[in-house]
Amino acid sequence: MKTSEAFIATKPWILDGVENNHLKSTYVCIAACDVSIVCAAKVRAVVLPLLDSWSTLENWLEAEHGIRPSSRAIYIEKMQATRHAWVDHLIAHYQSIGD
Handedness of CA 57, 36, 24, 95 (dihedral sign): positive
Structural domain that includes position 31: 3-96
Percent of the chain with pLDDT over 70: 100
Per-residue b or e along 60-90, where b marks 16 or more CB atoms closer than 10 Å to that residue's CB: bbeeeeeeeeeeeeeebeebbeebbebbeeb
What is the pLDDT of the chain when averaged over all its residues? Answer: 92
Q: What is the domain count for the chain?
A: 1
For residue 32, what pLDDT band results from cuts at 50, 70 and 90?
very high
